[in-house]
């Protein structure tokens, strides 16, 4: 048998749509997205904001089943940051989108006016598409303030108020962009879950990394996709929409019941008893302790005692209020699908995850969670990727601290408090105020330097700033990129890393900025690290391709092969399949001039050295201490060579 992958193509310029099946060797949205970009649209030949840069949003083969976590929605597009293909994901959204009766949406063409796309499917799989346009002035009036909301929230509430009949009847979910999609290259996709009984947003959620929101708006003129319907997925061989069938399949693989296996493998995200907390925010801080990145990654220059002092402040003013207001109250939700793992912890009306709050908090010298609330609210309203934004704000703050930039040059009136060795939690308010001013200037202002950074990306902007301020570089003896942390791709591409102190987040892999790598706090010889990191990348590919939540990965990875065989009759190893398509992804990155390049920031080299020394790799610590650049180049080259060897390229 083959798995028919049904794609709805919508031309944003003409309003026409068509449905076609992918049958040849396609298991899920990643496979389809790579084939579309590589073979059909050849998007690598065009500018990233050309309409050939189609955005595909799709579900996996098991959406509609009783398997918890199988309803992740995956976006595939060419990133305006890396300049290569990127993948972003949001949990639970396929639980609504599966009701359209299609597996994926592919947006092509470009609308002249900002547009909303409404998609619904009936019980028989008949699909209806309706495109509604807004005048630009009307859109910006909504973004500026609709009722008591602005930005993404304002647009979401405008749609709920004006199109509730469609949303409520079809149990539809929204994929929206904020004003940052028009102003920057790092806008995300806002995908909130909805309480259909109370007609309100339940939990904010995002597919944020890589600039997918910028692509949707600037390449296609689309500000929202709203999809749902009455269709219920059907499975050809075994009806896994019935719990008894799903449980029987797992029982043949696992020693314990499905629910018991699930509980054991997802404690961190629901409730970790050892930390008396849960979710990524609740678990990561007590787990990583003094090894979390701080102050634009300047923690690498601090002693362990200095880091512990900052960690204690963080736990008192950042983590403790979270536990009281989100954990102790039981204010926990799912991503929008029925699931016993309530990973979404909410306080003060905000969904609190580790990385968005860390970017709006300790990375920019904000250790008071109530001040971080203000920053994350501005980031979310703008529709920005919080991880990328946190890295950029931290970089700007350090540039200001080092006098490479002056406050008035970026639209603010003061320097931040950014010395971790002389930090007091009272500085949180000041730093948060500056961050909010910067975000508002990005969205509402016309500052040349901020526009350069937010449109061209941190790496390309840093090199341009080197040219603009040569005298300051000579005086300070440091370049703009030397205090930036990012993974470089091709000539100008980059993405900033997730907030983990590990070589895996900056190693030369072909898709980063998410968890397609090995990110434990360890350091090893590059060949071993490459083997483990590539193996993790391939498994993460297979999980995303199946539309499966990575919080369930420990359980799901063990049953994927069996599921494809018993549900679809496919005698295929999903991980070998993923490796084959990962190689195709590498081919695309090569054609797009978006292959990993050697680290061109001194901070990156020092980050590698710090990891080697901190994580007790004695020989590499000596090598980096003796000759920083030579050792980094050796590690990078050997890592790359091993990955290429393992992939056979």
> Phi/psi at 68 (nearest 5 deg)?
-65, 140
pLDDT of residue 586: 98
Cα–Cα distance measured from residue 181 to residue 71, given in angstroms and rounded to the nearest whole number = 26
pLDDT in tens, 379-418: 999 999 999 999 999 999 999 999 999 999 999 999 999 9
Cα–Cα distance measured from residue 407 to residue 388, given in angstroms and rounded to the nearest whole number = 21
Query: What whole-number percentage of the chain has pLDDT above 70?
Result: 100
Are residues 513 and 209 in contact, defined by beta-carbon separation less than 8 angstroms?
A: yes
Averaged pLDDT for residues 575-603:
98
Q: Is 0.95 topped by the overall pTM?
A: yes
pLDDT in tens, 15-73: 999 999 987 789 999 999 999 999 999 999 999 999 999 999 999 999 999 999 999 99
pLDDT at 366 over 90: yes
Positive or negative, the CA dihedral 196, 202, 208, 214 is: positive
What's 147-174 look like in SS3?
Answer: CCECHHHHHHHHHHHHCHHHHHHHCCEE
Are residues 278 and 327 in contact, defined by beta-carbon separation less than 8 angstroms?
A: yes
Averaged pLDDT for residues 77-93:
97
pLDDT of residue 24: 76
pLDDT of residue 247: 85
Averaged pLDDT for residues 253-260:
76
pLDDT at 359 over 80: yes
Tokens linked to 173: 């979910």
pLDDT of residue 260: 77
Element (H, E) at 488: strand 487-489
Cα–Cα distance measured from residue 86 to residue 83, given in angstroms and rounded to the nearest whole number = 9
For 208-236, the DSSP string reads -TTSHHHHHHHTT-EEEEEEEES-----S
Q: At what angle do helices 448-456 and 427-444 cross, to 10 degrees?
A: 80
Contacts of 576 (CB under 8 A, 6+ apart): none
Cα–Cα distance measured from residue 11 to residue 627, given in angstroms and rounded to the nearest whole number = 55
For 520-561, the DSSP string reads SS----HHHHHHHHHHHHHHHHHHHHTT--GGGHHHHTTTHH
Cα–chain-centroid distance for residue 607?
A: 22
Contacts of 197 (CB under 8 A, 6+ apart): none
Averaged pLDDT for residues 182-186:
97
pLDDT of residue 249: 86
Cα–Cα distance measured from residue 569 to residue 191, given in angstroms and rounded to the nearest whole number = 33
Q: Which residues of 183-222 are buried (b: 16+ CB within 10 A; e: fewer)?
A: bbbbbbbbbbbbebeeeebbbbbbbbbbbbbbbbbbbbbb
- Residue with tokens 């942390």, as numbered in its chain: 485
pLDDT at 1 over 60: no
What's 625-636 look like in SS3?
Answer: HHCHHHHHHHHH
Across the chain, what does the average pLDDT equal? 95
For 412-457, the DSSP string reads -SS-----GGG--TTHHHHHHHHHHHHHHHHHH---HHHHHHHHH-
pLDDT of residue 2: 65
Q: How many CA atoms lie within 13 A of 443 on its CB side?
A: 25
**DSSP letter (8 states) at residue 272:** B
pLDDT in tens, 272-316: 889 989 999 999 999 999 999 999 999 999 999 999 999 999 999
pLDDT at 575 over 70: yes
Residue 489 three-state SS = strand
Q: Residue 264 — very low, low, confident or very high, per pLDDT cuts 50/70/90?
A: confident
Query: What whole-number percentage of the chain has pLDDT above 90?
Result: 90
Averaged pLDDT for residues 172-194:
97
pLDDT of residue 645: 98
pLDDT of residue 261: 77
Positive or negative, the CA dihedral 44, 45, 48, 53 is: negative
pLDDT of residue 263: 78
> Phi/psi at 136 (nearest 5 deg)?
-60, -40
For 45-114, the DSSP string reads GS-TTSTTS-EEEE--TTTTSS-TT---EEEEEE-TTTSSEEEEEESSTHHHHGGGS-SEEEEES--SS-
What's 391-418 look like in SS3?
Answer: HHHHHHHHHHHCCCCCHHHHCCCCCCCC
Any idea which of 21-35, 413-427, 623-637 has the lowest mean pLDDT? 21-35
Averaged pLDDT for residues 172-193:
97
Q: At what angle do helices 628-647 and 526-545 cross, to 10 degrees?
A: 50
Averaged pLDDT for residues 318-324:
97
Averaged pLDDT for residues 92-115:
97
């Amino acid at each position: 048998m083959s798995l028919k992958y049904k794609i709805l193509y919508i031309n944003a310029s003409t309003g026409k749509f068509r449905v076609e099946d992918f049958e040849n060797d396609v298991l899920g949205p990643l496979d389809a997205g790579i084939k579309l970009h590589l073979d059909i649209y050849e998007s690598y030949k065009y500018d990233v904001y050309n309409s050939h840069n189609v955005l595909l949003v799709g579900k996996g083969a098991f959406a509609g089943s009783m398997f918890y976590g199988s309803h992740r929605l995956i976006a595939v597009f060419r990133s305006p940051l890396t300049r290569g293909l990127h993948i972003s994901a949001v949990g639970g959204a396929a639980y609504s989108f599966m009701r359209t009766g299609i597996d994926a949406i592919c947006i092509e063409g470009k609308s002249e006016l900002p547009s909303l796309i409404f998609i619904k499917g009936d019980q028989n799989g008949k699909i209806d598409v309706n495109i509604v346009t807004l005048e630009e002035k009307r859109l910006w009036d909504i973004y500026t303030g609709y009722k008591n909301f602005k930005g993404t929230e304002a647009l979401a509430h405008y749609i709920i108020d004006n199109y509730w009949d469609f949303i409520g009847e079809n149990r539809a979910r929204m994929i929206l962009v904020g004003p940052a999609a028009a102003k920057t290259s790092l806008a995300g996709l806002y995908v909130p879950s909805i309480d259909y009984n109370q007609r309100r947003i339940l939990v904010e959620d995002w597919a944020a990394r890589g600039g997918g929101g910028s692509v949707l708006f600037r390449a296609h003129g689309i500000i929202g996709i709203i999809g749902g319907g009455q269709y219920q997925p059907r499975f050809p061989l075994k009806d896994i929409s019935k719990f008894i069938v799903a449980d029987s399949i797992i029982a043949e693989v696992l020693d314990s019941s499905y629910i018991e296996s699930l509980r054991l493998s997802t404690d961190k995200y629901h409730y970790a008893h050892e930390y008396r907390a849960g979710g990524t925010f609740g678990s990561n801080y007590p787990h990583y302790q003094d090894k979390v990145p701080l102050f634009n990654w300047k923690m690498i220059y601090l002693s362990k005692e200095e880091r512990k002092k900052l960690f204690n402040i963080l736990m008192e003013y950042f983590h403790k209020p979270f536990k009281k207001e989100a954990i102790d109250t039981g204010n926990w939700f799912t991503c929008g699908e029925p699931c016993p793992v309530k990973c979404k912890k909410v306080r003060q009306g905000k969904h609190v995850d580790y990385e968005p709050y860390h970017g709006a908090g300790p990375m920019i010298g904000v250790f008071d969670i109530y001040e971080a609330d203000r920053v994350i609210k501005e980031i979310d309203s703008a529709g920005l990727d919080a991880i990328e934004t946190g890295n950029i704000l931290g970089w700007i703050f350090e540039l200001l601290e080092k006098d490479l930039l002056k406050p008035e040059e970026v639209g603010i009136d003061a320097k931040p408090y950014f010395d971790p060795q002389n930090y007091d939690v009272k500085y949180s308010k000041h730093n948060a105020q500056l961050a909010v001013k910067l975000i508002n200037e990005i969205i509402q202002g016309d500052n040349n330097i901020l526009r350069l950074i937010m449109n061209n990306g941190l790496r390309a902007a840093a090199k341009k700033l080197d040219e603009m301020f040569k005298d300051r570089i000579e005086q300070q003896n440091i370049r703009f990129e030397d205090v930036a942390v990012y993974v470089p791709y091709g000539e100008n591409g980059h993405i900033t890393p997730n907030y983990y102190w590990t070589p895996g987040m900056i190693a030369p892999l072909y898709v980063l900025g998410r968890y397609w790598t090995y990110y434990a706090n360890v350091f090893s010889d590059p060949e071993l690290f490459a083997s483990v990191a590539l193996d993790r990348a391939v498994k993460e590919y297979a999980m995303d391709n199946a539309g499966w939540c990575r919080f369930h990965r420990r359980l799901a990875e063990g049953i994927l092969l069996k599921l494809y065989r018993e549900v679809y009759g496919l005698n295929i190893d999903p991980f070998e399949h993923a490796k084959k398509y990962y190689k195709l992804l590498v081919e695309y990155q090569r054609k797009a001039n978006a292959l990993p390049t050697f680290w061109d920031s001194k901070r990156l080299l020092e980050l590698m050295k710090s990891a080697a020394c901190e994580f007790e790799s004695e020989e590499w610590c000596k090598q980096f201490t003796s000759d920083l650049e030579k050792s980094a180049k050796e590690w990078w080259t050997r890592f790359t060579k091993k990955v290429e060897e393992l992939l056979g390229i």
